[in-house]
Amino acid sequence: MESTTRTRELGIALRGIREDADLTGDELAKMLGWSPSKVSRLEHGKRLPSEVDIALYVASCGVLREKLEEVLELARATDRGYWVRPHNERLPDELHSLTVQENIATAISTYNPIFIPGLLQTKDYADTLFRRAGLIPEDGIDLRVHTRMRRQRVLAKYDAPRFVCCIHEHALRTMVGGPEVMHGQIMRLLEVFESSNCQVWVLPRSANSFSAVGSGFRVMSYTDHRPVAYEDTRAAGVFFDMPGDVAMYRQVFTKVTKEALTGEQSRQWLARLANEYDRME
């Protein structure tokens, strides 16, 4: 079977349980009386196990019932070409799912018409966004900011994905936290130009297509799986697995990047904007 966002996350969760138990795939297969290929396909999201298989797998690794319930919840979920991960007051499942997909991606393309993308935000910018939104309890903000900063490590790991980000001018000029915060944020974006695997393109207000219309999204590509698109809404994060849906998001991304400034033009534009915010301070 073709893997999906959900089955990949389930497989990664099971592999983590096995590795925590200090077992190899072959050792676990022998304990269960399975073929090594069955364990491998399950852990790569290419086989949807029954609840009995999951219970046997987890029990063989000596895992507590609480962890079993978490894995079973993933297995029981349904995905019909898309997978909805609701936001809630605790650290949302959507963030865990997004982190899993980012860490196995080989390429990430993202368009942001309203805010700087999370993978490039500074701590001060992220903290201000969460506090301004007013949707998260005060005692949950620090955890979310910390999680967002940890997610950014994906861009610096040895097998980091190719990251291409297109940001609308509207997002860059929206004052979040004052000139000092914005100056620090723009300087962070300028640092990205020193990275070999990251690109930042600015979509100016003068662009005709998709001028600050709609919400941000990303498309993630993989070596052994079909690509997936992701869009964050106010109530939930939604992953799209169907090829037609992914193709639509890719088409939108291609259109906006055609009207964006080139890499060097974007760097110069951001440098001028950083000076503007510096003078405001």
Distance CA 111, CA 129 (A): 18
pLDDT attached to residue 92 = 47
In tens, the pLDDT along 85-96 reads 665 544 444 467
Sequence-distant (≥ 6) Cβ neighbours of residue 250 within 8 angstroms: 109, 219, 227, 229
In tens, the pLDDT along 145-203 reads 888 899 899 999 989 999 999 999 999 999 999 999 999 999 999 999 999 899 999 99
Distance CA 222, CA 85 (A): 21
| Helix or strand run (H / E) with residue 221 | strand 217-221
Q: Is 179 exposed, middle or buried (0-12, 13-18, 19+ CB in 10 A)?
A: middle
**Measuring CA to CA, which residue among 217, 213, 214, 216 is closest to residue 205?**
213
- End-to-end CA, the chain: 56
pLDDT attached to residue 235 = 65
